[in-house]
A = this chain, B = another copy of it.
Amino acid sequence: MTTPPQWVRDLKPSGPQGSELLAHERSKSSVNVDQLSTFLFTSEGLARKRRVLKVLENEKVFDKSQNYFAGRVDRFETALARAKRLRQLAVRNGWSNDDRLIANELISEPGPYGLHESMFLITLRDQGNAEQHEKFLKPAEQYKYIGCYAQTELGHGSNVRGLETTATWNKEDQTFTIHSPYLTASKWWIGSLGRTANHAVVMAQLIIGGKSYGPHPFVVQIRDLNTHETLENIHVGDIGPKFGYNTMDNGYLLFNQVKVPHISMLARFSRVDPKTNQYVRPASASLIYGTLTWVRSTIVMQAGGVLARGVTIATRYCAVRRQFQDRDAQEGQKSENQVINYTTVQIRLLPLLATTFALHFTGKAMMEMYGANQKKMSQDVGKVGGPERGAGPEETHSGSDLLADLHATSCGLKSLASYTAVEGLEMCRRACGGHGYSSFSGIGPWYADYLPTATWEGDNYMLTQQVARYLLKSARSVLKGNEPTNDTTFILTNFLSRQDTGAAFDVLGNDADIVAAFAWRSAFLTFEALKHRDEQKRPWNSLLVDFYRLSRAHSQYMVVKNFYETLQASPSATGLDAETLAIMHKLFRLYSLHTLESEASEFYTSSAVTVRQIQLCRTNAVMRLLEEIRPHAVRLVDAWSFPDWQLDSSLGRYDGKVYEDMFYRASELNPLNKVVVDPYPDSKVLFKKNEAAALKSKL
């Protein structure tokens, strides 16, 4: 910390202060922030957040003031210290899983225990048998074993079946040999592996008697439990710096003929019988399928909140920042205009504000659908099968319609929701103008950490094939005359029955018609794709672009439908007063109509709406909604109730003290200001003084 001279400390920002501007924004809107927060998160959720925040704020190790300055090695070191302390706090305070999750949200950085606490424990629990629970899960839960989930390889990501690591069964001594035959077999991107883990669940091709049985999970110790040095014939390390996620030690891992005992293969579903040396097939793949669907569902669930951080920051800053006068302003009114008053800013920010709610309600609906399915599945186990991650055969979608619908929904919405959050965050960052580029905006680092969500758990392009496959299958069923059994077959049936009479959706006058228009477009594109595939026999590869568009259209329909249905709940169920509810209805229309006009050509080629309606939608409806929602923008982002501690943003401060905070961080916290350079080209000296280094070496 350096302190500027007194004359600098006496300076204030010019003009109306940020705090005054935000206070004014809040005073002129009647949106009930508390009601809306409670509707979004429940009062228990809000209380939990406050309680956990209080604990974290009082721990020095969680202090964020150097986060944006530190280099990779230092950031990782701090993240490790935080992970350890968090575990201690969880034990001491008896935190529930929800408490732990909210703590991670508040800290907002990936940590070295990340994969241990998620995929490692989950996989041991779900795929281990009782003996393996005792041997592996118990020490893992006590943090004696610290693990990771090693699936992706240098040469294979999406295509799990193409993994190259092998696990060969040795009947002589009843062991498996884990081996990396190629450089491309190196495990890669594995979170918590680079420096932290001493164990790994390794996905490897099971080979028995020269025959391959596909990828299976093996628990392998990789580092010494005392020295933490790498074990023999194992090569492991951190994969290096990334666009974000640099507090995490994503790692690589190679094996040179490493023997592990029979118990290492997680055997709840499939196993090798050591007596017969035979492979025992799993009864059902549907539970694995369930886990993957769950992971995607949580991504959908989180996307609204992820985006809302950026929208909160940008909205508050654009209400504080003033630039230029309004061109049509009268003389005498020539004070500078709040940036949020410009329609080019509104057209970017306010539809995104609407999107945060749209995604949040969709995520909630998705989780409820998942819960309902889990219930049903526990009755159905053994009866159904489902496609695996990445790819599955086109026509073999057997099992209940609910299950298939859930799978397709989770794929399509994961793709749309994470794409929308990624694009939206970057749009928020740019809406902050030049200062958006500073790390102190808080958007850039958050965006960079979130970005891989668009690629992992199914690449956002790859996944759309799953949606298209499901829709084609549903359309075939409907064409055969089968009765609709779920919403998807219902909208397809409805489209077919009305195809010849045509649609006449009053999208500008009636909210239910908006939902119907989105359904119509989705159904239209489904039957178009079916024609290309089944009648014209076009190659699958030539249809991928159409499939991507189809998945997007169908997913947007689901978002619009979920947003609409959430607002149809009884007033007592939402707990919202009439004014707040009315604004939510406007946000629904803004999200829907803005999406409709952005995707205009699919809507009119499907004849869901006319060209005239789209023009009116663009020039009238959307522009009017921007004007109507504008006064409530600050209160609406307040309802997301992010503490300043979580946002860690100069621009997004609740109190509007934007410039004071930017200046404080730059001038008092910035280690680069502790060096004095020699700037002349002919001098070999670079730093005349380096107090930062001096300080560090003293520690």
Nearest B-chain residue to A237, judged by Cβ: B673
Cross-interface CB contact of A615 among B4, B243, B461, B605, cutoff 8 Å: B605
Asked if B676 contacts A228 (CB within 8 A), the reply is: yes
Cross-interface CB contact of A659 among B12, B154, B326, B687, cutoff 8 Å: B154
Cross-interface CB contact of A185 among B14, B76, B619, cutoff 8 Å: B14
Question: Contacts A14-B182, A600-B600 known; A154 to B241 CB distance under 8 Å?
Answer: no
Nearest B-chain residue to A158, judged by Cβ: B323
Asked if B688 contacts A228 (CB within 8 A), the reply is: yes
Nearest CB on B from A234, distance (A): 10
Nearest B-chain residue to A454, judged by Cβ: B430
Question: Contacts A69-B72, A541-B341 known; A158 to B433 CB distance under 8 Å?
Answer: yes
Question: Contacts A159-B323, A328-B541 known; A439 to B180 CB distance under 8 Å?
Answer: no
Asked if B347 contacts A545 (CB within 8 A), the reply is: yes
Asked if B679 contacts A198 (CB within 8 A), the reply is: yes
Asked if A73 contacts B672 (CB within 8 A), the reply is: yes
Nearest CB on B from A242, distance (A): 5
Listed in ascending order, the chain A residues whose CB lies under 8 Å from chain B are 4-5, 7-8, 11-15, 68-74, 76-77, 80-81, 83-84, 87-88, 112, 143-144, 146, 152, 154-159, 162, 164, 180-186, 188-189, 194-198, 227-229, 233, 235, 237-245, 249, 252, 254, 256, 321, 323-324, 326-328, 336, 341-345, 347, 390-391, 394, 426, 429-430, 433-434, 436-440, 444, 448, 451-452, 454-456, 459, 461, 539-546, 548, 600-601, 604-605, 611, 614-615, 619, 623, 659-660, 662-663, 665-667, 669-673, 675-683, 686-688, 692-693, 697
Nearest CB on B from A549, distance (A): 9
Residues of B within 8 A of A227 (CB): 676, 688
Nearest B-chain residue to A681, judged by Cβ: B87
Nearest CB on B from A430, distance (A): 7
Asked if A162 contacts B323 (CB within 8 A), the reply is: yes
Cross-interface CB contact of A12 among B72, B183, B614, cutoff 8 Å: B183
Asked if A344 contacts B239 (CB within 8 A), the reply is: no
13 contacts between A and B (CB under 8 A): A11-B183, A12-B183, A77-B687, A80-B686, A158-B324, A158-B433, A183-B663, A188-B434, A324-B390, A327-B394, A328-B540, A344-B544, A601-B604
Asked if A541 contacts B687 (CB within 8 A), the reply is: no
Nearest CB on B from A416, distance (A): 15
Asked if B667 contacts A545 (CB within 8 A), the reply is: no
Residues of B within 8 A of A611 (CB): 604-605
Asked if B342 contacts A541 (CB within 8 A), the reply is: yes
A395 to B623, CA, bound (A): 26
Nearest CB on B from A257, distance (A): 9
Asked if A663 contacts B186 (CB within 8 A), the reply is: yes
Question: Contacts A11-B254, A324-B159 known; A189 to B434 CB distance under 8 Å?
Answer: yes
A456 to B433, CA, bound (A): 9
Nearest B-chain residue to A549, judged by Cβ: B618
Asked if B344 contacts A237 (CB within 8 A), the reply is: no
A182 to B614, CA, bound (A): 48
Nearest CB on B from A422, distance (A): 9
Residues of B within 8 A of A440 (CB): 240
Asked if B544 contacts A343 (CB within 8 A), the reply is: yes
Asked if B614 contacts A601 (CB within 8 A), the reply is: yes
Residues of B within 8 A of A164 (CB): 14
A688 to B69, CA, bound (A): 24
Asked if A452 contacts B434 (CB within 8 A), the reply is: yes
A693 to B239, CA, bound (A): 19
Asked if B461 contacts A434 (CB within 8 A), the reply is: no
Nearest CB on B from A663, distance (A): 6
A390 to B325, CA, bound (A): 12
Nearest B-chain residue to A451, judged by Cβ: B437
Residues of B within 8 A of A437 (CB): 242-245, 451-452, 455
Cross-interface CB contact of A682 among B88, B237, B541, B665, cutoff 8 Å: B88
Nearest CB on B from A449, distance (A): 11
Cross-interface CB contact of A541 among B242, B326, B614, B678, cutoff 8 Å: B326
Asked if A677 contacts B159 (CB within 8 A), the reply is: no
Asked if B438 contacts A667 (CB within 8 A), the reply is: no
Nearest CB on B from A676, distance (A): 6
Asked if A14 contacts B181 (CB within 8 A), the reply is: yes
A580 to B422, CA, bound (A): 38
Asked if B5 contacts A675 (CB within 8 A), the reply is: no
Nearest CB on B from A177, distance (A): 14
Asked if A681 contacts B183 (CB within 8 A), the reply is: no
Asked if A324 contacts B183 (CB within 8 A), the reply is: no
Nearest CB on B from A248, distance (A): 11
Asked if A80 contacts B677 (CB within 8 A), the reply is: yes
A227 to B678, CA, bound (A): 8
Question: Contacts A182-B14, A239-B666 known; A77 to B679 CB distance under 8 Å?
Answer: no
Asked if A240 contacts B665 (CB within 8 A), the reply is: yes
Nearest B-chain residue to A419, judged by Cβ: B430
Question: Contacts A88-B682, A433-B455, A454-B430 known; A623 to B545 CB distance under 8 Å?
Answer: yes
Asked if B183 contacts A659 (CB within 8 A), the reply is: yes
Nearest CB on B from A154, distance (A): 5
Nearest B-chain residue to A197, judged by Cβ: B679
Asked if B71 contacts A323 (CB within 8 A), the reply is: no
A76 to B670, CA, bound (A): 13
Q: Which of A229, A434, A614, A675 has the most CB of B within 10 A?
A: A434
Nearest B-chain residue to A5, judged by Cβ: B235
Nearest B-chain residue to A604, judged by Cβ: B611
A568 to B154, CA, bound (A): 46
Cross-interface CB contact of A672 among B13, B198, B249, cutoff 8 Å: B249
A84 to B686, CA, bound (A): 9
Q: Which of A328, A336, A601, A688 has the most CB of B within 10 A?
A: A601
Q: Which of A343, A665, A672, A673 has the most CB of B within 10 A?
A: A672
Asked if A327 contacts B240 (CB within 8 A), the reply is: no
A88 to B681, CA, bound (A): 7
Residues of B within 8 A of A14 (CB): 155, 164, 181-185
Asked if A152 contacts B434 (CB within 8 A), the reply is: yes
Asked if A459 contacts B439 (CB within 8 A), the reply is: no
